[in-house]
Amino acid sequence: MVTFVYAGDVNVEAYGAKGDGVTLNTKAIQNAIDACGQQGGGRVVVPKGDFLSGTVEFKNHVVLYLQKGARLLGSSRIEDYRNPDPFTEGLGIDVGWALLAAVDCHDIGIEGAGVIDGQGSKLKATQIMTDQRPEAKRWGRRPFLLRVVRCNGVSVKGITLQYAAAWTSHYARSRNVNIQGVKIVSVGVAHNDGIGIDGCQDVHISDCDVTSGDDALVFKTTSSKMACRNIVVSHMRLKSNQAGIKIGTESMADFENISIRDCYIYDTKNGGIKLLSVDGARIKNVRISGINMQQVRTPLLLRLGSRLSVFRKGRDQRQQTGSFENVVLKDIIAVSADSTQLKSATGILITGVPGHPVSGVMLKNIFIDLPGGGMADEAAAVVPEAIEKYPEVKTFGPVIPAYGLWARHVRDLKMESIRFRLRRNDARPVLVLEDATGVALRNFSVPYTKGPVTGIVRTSKQVKIEGWKVAGGAPVFLNTDSISRWQLRLHANRLPVGQQTINL
């Protein structure tokens, strides 16, 4: 917990700032921050009004306090922003400009009932008048709303962050970060991530309400030098045009000792929960529980890949392929949207790459409601390995051969008390398992479907399927190959009368 002792208040108007929404107040606000820091710290107060600004930087022991009715507005001129710590993000774009920046500071904060508004759409409209590059390259020059880099002791409470021109809030390689009661509404331009935690440690996030154009809550490690470690998240509302909760994509250093609980995720357009290590990270000791997801596209994606990107060229080095260890997802409800990124919706995707399986994962007490509609011939779909690709659900589509669980290149995977429900028939199997070793699938509840087979197991060893309750419809329980048949242990499964157990 970050606690501040205020030495005194400094009002930005005393340094010439004008809240008329027209005057550019960058210098006045920076002077107020500098003066506050020089007197030993305190609060820099932004009173009621609309205060236009470009980049301002924090000093030690300074809290920016926005009173009710105060709005700090980002300038619509790209030239009014600086980049205090440049880096390259996961799509290969140079980024780092910001409206509010804190670099190598300690004991800082943003508090109050006011609003910080990046005016992202207005800035973009102004930018494209002179920047003729394609939008995929042009967006990186636009500023984040808030950047915190290599800081110790950061508190962000009660504030509203909205309409960023790029990422909304980015906390990088910082310690002792507390984010509480923050409201984010950031849509309108591309890459409006809500809360981004990048290689930070000892972090508490709670009671925030996020609506974002990109990932709502995302953990990254764009540097190999500092892991995301010792992080507790609770009681979040998350809406996103991408993922609700994501670990990765940028994933050079580890993600370790992370607890996320009691969150509501809704109306996501590209995934509910995504855990992605593709640049060398270990995802270790991660527990996600008590999650309610409504109208999400593809509830769960776990990916171990070998993209192995480097984001700070010349200052970092390529890592080896990472791993999953002791990852638990439990007590999750997910209702899928009617249409998803895939031709037919799938509830859970888990995939490593050849020689690097996803291992040490437990999924327990999970209910997934899916639209159905898959056809029997889709069960024969060959899913691309995409070993070095950017990891998204669509990377493995457009067709996934199972509607419930598709798992490939997995080891030591345990799943218990998993229940699927379909809103219409899906002729694909509920399960497709490929290149799996040491897998235990217990107490699955499978709805009635009219399809040729309930599950498919290929090239797998030491697979245990027990306590399944299958409502019926398919004439065959499991299709297997000759390798897998003798490696299957089936126990106490309640199958429909007349259903053939195994078919080669």
4-48 pLDDT, tens digit per residue, is 555 679 999 999 999 999 999 999 999 999 999 999 999 999 999
| pLDDT in the model for residue 118 | 98
DSSP assigned state of 125: H
Could you tell me the CA-to-CA distances from 494 to 291, 301, 363, 499 in Å, in that order?
Answer: 29, 28, 21, 10
Confidence of residue 49 (pLDDT cuts 50, 70, 90): very high
- Whether the predicted pLDDT of 117 surpasses 70: yes
Across 78-98, b (16+ Cβ under 10 Å) vs e yields bebbebeeebbbbeebebbbb
DSSP assigned state of 314: T
How far is the C-alpha of 120 from the C-alpha of 263, rounded, in Å? 28
| pLDDT in the model for residue 383 | 97
Token output for 448: 């009635």
- Whether the predicted pLDDT of 174 surpasses 80: yes
Token output for 105: 């500071």
| pLDDT in the model for residue 90 | 82
How far is the C-alpha of 330 from the C-alpha of 454, rounded, in Å? 24
Answer whether 285's CB lies under 8 Å from 255's CB. Answer: no
Residue 239: strand pairing partners: 211, 266
Model pLDDT for residues 88-101, shown as the tens digit of each residue: 888 889 999 999 99
Confidence of residue 504 (pLDDT cuts 50, 70, 90): confident
Token output for 229: 């470690």
Q: In whole angstroms, what separates CA 379 from the centre of its chain?
A: 29
- Whether the predicted pLDDT of 1 surpasses 80: no
In the predicted model, what is the mean pLDDT of residues 436-443? Answer: 98
How far is the C-alpha of 260 from the C-alpha of 206, rounded, in Å? 10
For tokens 């998350």, what's the residue? 238
| Alpha helix positions (H), 51-177 | 120-127, 135-138
In the predicted model, what is the mean pLDDT of residues 477-500? Answer: 96
In the predicted model, what is the mean pLDDT of residues 365-392? Answer: 96
How far is the C-alpha of 282 from the C-alpha of 458, rounded, in Å? 27
**% of the chain exceeding 70 in pLDDT:** 99
What secondary structure, in 3-state letters, does 198-248 show? ECCEEEEEECCEEEECCCCEEEEECCCCCCEEEEEEECCEEEECCCCEEEE
In the predicted model, what is the mean pLDDT of residues 321-343? Answer: 97
Answer whether 421's CB lies under 8 Å from 395's CB. Answer: no
> Residue 95: which of 109, 84, 110, 106 has the closest Cα?
84
How far is the C-alpha of 275 from the C-alpha of 287, rounded, in Å? 11
pLDDT mean across residues, the chain: 96
> Residue 249: which of 278, 280, 281 has the closest Cα?
278
Which residues lie closer than 8 Å to 23 by C-beta, 6 or more apart?
A: 17, 52
Token output for 424: 């219409």
Token output for 399: 């067709």
| pLDDT in the model for residue 314 | 86
| pLDDT in the model for residue 252 | 97
Which residues lie closer than 8 Å to 235 by C-beta, 6 or more apart?
A: 206, 207, 262, 263
First to last CA, the chain: 59
> Residue 186: which of 215, 158, 148 has the closest Cα?
215
Model pLDDT for residues 230-283, shown as the tens digit of each residue: 999 999 999 999 999 999 999 999 999 999 999 999 999 999 999 999 999 999
| pLDDT in the model for residue 7 | 65
| pLDDT in the model for residue 338 | 96
How far is the C-alpha of 101 from the C-alpha of 207, rounded, in Å? 24
In the predicted model, what is the mean pLDDT of residues 41-68? Answer: 98
